[in-house]
Amino acid sequence: MESLSLRDDMGDNTAVAGQNTLQLIAFSIGDQTYGVEITTVREIRAWNGATPLPNTREFVRGVINLRGTIVPIFDLRARFGDGQTSPTKNHVVVVMSVGDKWVGILVDAVSDILTVNRADIHNVPEGNAIDTELLNGIVTHDSRMVGLIDLHAVVSGARLDA
């Protein structure tokens, strides 16, 4: 799998989600499941490495050239403070738009497209081991907890002008 362009394959699936629902791309980091809104995802690519840049933070793995666009790659495991990922060919990069820029996040695997009710999204409890600044909320889906990634918070603190 070189890459999967979601824009070509989504068809009218986004029309399924109404104002009261939200569609998420779910992915895993270790045993944890996280999600981002499907409308932010541009494509999912197999990990093929990234070109490191000097003087970047630990969670910035480098950049890739995506059809002429230079895209910074963030290691989500490292961003959560759990050390850098040792990527294999099974790891994937989820390329997303954050504002007017594209970024990629390195994750262990993409698992599902979830449709969740907005009313089922809960605030992240404070005062525990969860870094609440990187999540917008938590939703329960099929007996598992899915952390909703705050993309702006994940990429903050890193130069995106690569």
Measure the CA–CA gap between 137 and 28, rounded to whole angstroms. 16
pLDDT at 155: 84
Kindly give the confidence (pLDDT) of every residue in the chain, 162 residues in length, as a single tens digit, with 9 standing for 90 and above.
455 555 444 444 444 456 899 999 999 999 999 999 999 999 999 999 999 999 999 999 999 999 999 999 999 999 988 999 999 989 999 999 998 899 999 999 999 999 999 999 999 887 655 567 889 899 998 888 999 999 988 888 665 444
pLDDT at 142: 85
pLDDT at 113: 95
Furthest-apart CA pair in the chain: how many Å? 44
Contact 46, 88 (CB under 8 A): no
Q: CA–CA distance from 73 to each of 112, 114, 146, 149 (Å)?
A: 21, 24, 22, 16
The token pair that represents 2 in the structure block: 């070189």
- Strands 69-75 and 101-107, bridge-based pairing: parallel
- Cβ atoms within 10 Å of 43's Cβ, excluding its own: 20
Q: CA–CA distance from 25 to each of 52, 65, 79, 102 (Å)?
A: 27, 23, 19, 16
Instruction: Please tell me whether residue 119 adopts helix, strand or coil conformation.
Output: helix
The whole-model pTM stands at: 0.83
pLDDT at 126: 76
